[in-house]
Structure 1
Amino acid sequence: MARRVSAIILGAGKSKRMRLTKSKIILDLGGRPLIFYTLDVLKRLGIKDISLVVGYKKEEVKKVVREEFPDIRFVHQRIYNGTAKAVEIALPFTKEEDVLVLYGDTPLIEAKTLRSFINFYFKKNSPCALISGRLPFDNDLGRILRNSTGEVIKIIEKQQLTHPVDEVNSGIYCFKKSHLGKGLKKIKMNRKKREFFLTDIVEIFSHQNLRVSPYFLEDWRQIIGVNTQSNLALAYKLLNEKLLERIMHKGVRIIDPYTTFLSYDTKIGRDSIIYPFTYIEKNVIIGNNCSIGPFVHLRQNTYIKDGSSIGNFIEITRSQVGPKMRAKHFSYIGDATIKEGVNIGAGFVTANYDGKHKYKTFIEDYAFIGSHSVIVAPCKIGKNALTGGGAVVTKNVENNMVVVGVPAKPLRKREK
């Protein structure tokens, strides 16, 4: 953007409706903290002056955010007395004359939308602009009231309506800093809730003949706020739909999008096929021409290389497998490196945890792991080696060796 703005993100609340013991803005959404989506969008827009207002569980929030966004400014709201006061304490720290205000619990807003909104605000040159929209279901967002000429004059709660109004306030605003500062001082405490609400500034501006410019957003999904557990589930559903659409556009076949669950950074290669009830956590890469599922759980730090097939009821975590590895039936693979052309029989388990530490398993090219084999890590299975059905392998296996029994012992050499 050619013109610069400061950003204030509101994230101090207790999230009472979610009944949490942690701040909702660091809840996991598709493999990353919810607040990261908003921060990432602002960074992509080139907004450098960002203040995050924190309060409830502030040290936990700061620790999480600093891991990926070390330059964020934190402003502490010591008393939870409303959104207007949150903005008021952050405003003196802002460096620019134009200020973007948004909530930390609106993770699906897109960079192109915010860019367009900010450009709209500068074009209108009004003291305030806001994003409004319409949701296709009942909701508790504040309603936008307009006068007979279509000008925005007030934001009120749904319960205060005297006639049906379906245009809602997104909670995303742009302000002239000088007008915002003066308006905040005029906001009075809501007697019922004993809080100062930023939404009241719209009526204050209206009374002063200061224009509030509405930017109507057709895509309601982008303004979903996370205030309840149901909202969080909906936000992930909508995010997942976007992620699925993105990878299908790149040549991945999804048999059933309704039962396939991705993370924000999931990478899947072309010509791969994902069967129903597949759940993929963050930092998972699937290569080209792979077959995954049904009923597969791919956990963090897993890399499935080209041409591999992962079948029914399999969990893989912190492992690299393939290329052309086959595991067709119920197995657990953890902390393993499995090389090219390995065949994994049904019921295979890497016993990678001894109660204190986790250990690694290495399976070399073209090894054949028999059904119900257990490999007790740390352990290495050599090239072209074979474990018999039900074997419990506790020692390294040489190349081309067949091992059987409990514990597994060498039986004979296998033909190359």
Structure 2
Amino acid sequence: MAAGMSNPIAVIVLAAGKGTRMKSDLHKVLHPIAGRPMLLHLMASVDALNPAKKVVIVGDKADQLEAALAGTADLAVQDPQLGTGHAVQQAEAALAGFDGDVLILYGDVPFVPAATMQAMIDRLNADDAPAVVVLAFEPNDAQQYGRVITEGDRVTKMVEHKDATDAERAVRLCNSGLMAAKSTDLFPLLARVTDDNAAKEYYLVDIVNIANADGRHCAVVVTDPYDVAGINSRGELAAMETEWQARRRVAAMTDGASLIAPDTVWFAWDTQLGRDVLIEPNVFFGPGVTVADNVKIRANCHLEGTTIGTGCEVGPFARLRPGTVLGEKAKIGNFVETKKAVLGKGAKANHLTYLGDVTVGAGANIGAGTITCNYDGYFKYQTVIGENAFIGSNSALIAPVTIGRDAIVAAGSAVSRDVAAGDLRMVRAEQMVKPGWADRFHDAMLKKKAGK
């Protein structure tokens, strides 16, 4: 192939299986890891190759996959399901007229790096022109995996575990199931695959043996077991989550964040952290969190859909919900919940507060126990708090309402009308005092209790 030239790439993703071991109404490949369906982890890596075509092979719960992919890939149905070779054949119509390189991936093998996919394509286009490239790995325990028998990096035989001899089972190099082939080779080879095996299925791996029998040769690329780990049960899902999180924590610390107790911090797939971020124990990041430099996130916080500015402090025991934006050096303290709350520079809510559908100006102080009453049972309403305003403790701001800059809301107020800039608003019932009433009450109740 000429320097600088590359063939178009098509990707076939197998996702037709029933996933019975998950025991779930949700399609197996839509179960999330780090807050993102495993299939979409894979498709993001696929997209890094800029493929010309993407075909997902579907069967059970196809409507769920169609909704999740939202038109980003063609769908081809496999029904009945007669094995991996038969599954790949279902993409032939969708790839009619396509002339290029084809990658075969699996929806339940979500963490294949784009670089590994590219390595398979590069090997397919090497000067010796292999018919098929197989992605293999060497697990600690070979279990029931099919084996890849090689001489150098050439594959001499592919064999499923149940069809392998004892000598073949002793080989540690295992088949991931992922392959690459030219479109002009792939479908003619698949057409020659038979179901003459213990499972009576059409195995994709047989295209390697057929190509070898034709006098062609096939090549192997070897990758890390993590890259090709398949997920078939909730136990395997949890194990992969654990491994993904462990790697993400290392990356966070490598990039300049401090995790006091790394194993207790949980990241989402898209969490972004600045430098010199301190994360205390038991912090959970949902999707959509961006953290700037020099931020302190104290223990036992839950953050999702949140942007945190430089120098902010959050928690402990804070919950930041989607739509929260904290300006530079803003502070959210313990037992504070925010939702669609924008806090300006230096604004702070230190204790026991709910801020929903609110804009808080720079330097404003929100006292303990303050809530924005943003919902009337039918609609949500906005609260606006001006710069340097002071909201006294145990206040209820009944939206829609605006508190002007430098205004003060006295503690214990229920504010339902706008407060002008610089004003004091106090909304309290008149205090009534009845001298001696409490003493008389206690005496009466004690006598009643004693039966007198």
TM-score range, shorter chain: 0.7 to 0.9
Residues 173/322 of structure 1: CA separation in 2 closer, same or farther (3 Å cut):
same
Residues 140/384 of structure 1: CA separation in 2 closer, same or farther (3 Å cut):
farther
Are positions 1:228 and 2:233 aligned together?
Answer: yes
SS of alignment partner, residue 9 of structure 1: strand
Contact kept? 2:410, 2:424, Cα under 8 Å: no
- Distance in 2 (CA, whole Å) between partners of 1:141 and 1:231 is 16
Task: Report the Cα offset of residue 244 of structure 1.
Answer: 3.5
Contact kept? 2:289, 2:304, Cα under 8 Å: yes
Contact kept? 1:147, 1:153, Cα under 8 Å: no
Identify the residue that residue 107 of structure 2 maps to in structure 1. Answer: 104
Identify the residue that residue 278 of structure 1 maps to in structure 2. Answer: 283
TM-score computed with the length of structure 1 as normaliser: 0.86
Identify the residue that residue 331 of structure 1 maps to in structure 2. Answer: 336
Residues 192/389 of structure 1: CA separation in 2 closer, same or farther (3 Å cut):
farther
Are positions 1:172 and 2:172 aligned together?
Answer: no
Contact kept? 2:82, 2:202, Cα under 8 Å: yes
Are positions 1:156 and 2:157 aligned together?
Answer: no
Contact kept? 2:101, 2:121, Cα under 8 Å: no
Residues 111/160 of structure 1: CA separation in 2 closer, same or farther (3 Å cut):
same
Are positions 1:120 and 2:132 aligned together?
Answer: no
Contact kept? 1:312, 1:329, Cα under 8 Å: yes
Task: Report the Cα offset of residue 92 of structure 1.
Answer: 4.0
- Distance in 1 (CA, whole Å) between partners of 2:390 and 2:153 is 80
Contact kept? 1:6, 1:96, Cα under 8 Å: no
Identify the residue that residue 287 of structure 1 maps to in structure 2. Answer: 292
Task: Report the Cα offset of residue 154 of structure 1.
Answer: 2.1
Count of residues paired in the alignment: 401
Are positions 1:63 and 2:60 aligned together?
Answer: no
Task: Write the letter of the residue equivalent to 1:45.
Answer: L
SS of alignment partner, residue 261 of structure 1: coil
Unaligned runs of 5+ in 1: 353-359
Identify the residue that residue 259 of structure 2 maps to in structure 1. Answer: 254
Please give the per-residue CA displacement for 1:61-108, whole angstroms capped at 9, x wherever unaligned. 1222126x3xx2222223222211111121343312432211122221
Identify the residue that residue 369 of structure 2 maps to in structure 1. Answer: 372
Residues 390/215 of structure 1: CA separation in 2 closer, same or farther (3 Å cut):
same
SS of alignment partner, residue 80 of structure 2: coil
- Distance in 2 (CA, whole Å) between partners of 1:313 and 1:138 is 45
TM-score computed with the length of structure 2 as normaliser: 0.80
- Say what the alpha-carbon RMSD is for the aligned residues: 2.9
- Distance in 2 (CA, whole Å) between partners of 1:105 and 1:286 is 31
SS of alignment partner, residue 345 of structure 1: strand
Question: Rg bigger for which structure?
Answer: 2
Contact kept? 1:108, 1:239, Cα under 8 Å: no
Residues 73/309 of structure 1: CA separation in 2 closer, same or farther (3 Å cut):
same
Identify the residue that residue 356 of structure 1 maps to in structure 2. Answer: none
After TM superposition, where is structure 1 displaced by more than 6 Å over at least 4 residues in a row?
147-150, 409-412
Task: Report the Cα offset of residue 252 of structure 1.
Answer: 2.4
Task: Write the letter of the residue equivalent to 2:113.
Answer: E
Identify the residue that residue 38 of structure 2 maps to in structure 1. Answer: 34
Residues 139/345 of structure 1: CA separation in 2 closer, same or farther (3 Å cut):
farther
Task: Report the Cα offset of residue 298 of structure 1.
Answer: 0.7
Are positions 1:216 and 2:216 aligned together?
Answer: no
Task: Report the Cα offset of residue 138 of structure 1.
Answer: 6.2
Task: Write the letter of the residue equivalent to 1:373.
Answer: T
Identify the residue that residue 298 of structure 1 maps to in structure 2. Answer: 303
Task: Write the letter of the residue equivalent to 1:330.
Answer: F
Unaligned runs of 5+ in 2: 375-380, 426-452
Task: Write the letter of the residue equivalent to 1:157.
Answer: H
Task: Report the Cα offset of residue 37 of structure 1.
Answer: 2.7
- Distance in 2 (CA, whole Å) between partners of 1:292 and 1:386 is 25
SS of alignment partner, residue 213 of structure 1: strand
Task: Report the Cα offset of residue 160 of structure 1.
Answer: 5.5
Identity of aligned residues (%): 23
Identify the residue that residue 18 of structure 1 maps to in structure 2. Answer: 22
Task: Report the Cα offset of residue 49 of structure 1.
Answer: 2.1
1:123-142 superposed matches below 5 A:
123=126, 124-137=128-141, 139-142=143-146
- Distance in 2 (CA, whole Å) between partners of 1:253 and 1:289 is 10
SS of alignment partner, residue 315 of structure 2: strand
- Distance in 2 (CA, whole Å) between partners of 1:33 and 1:263 is 11
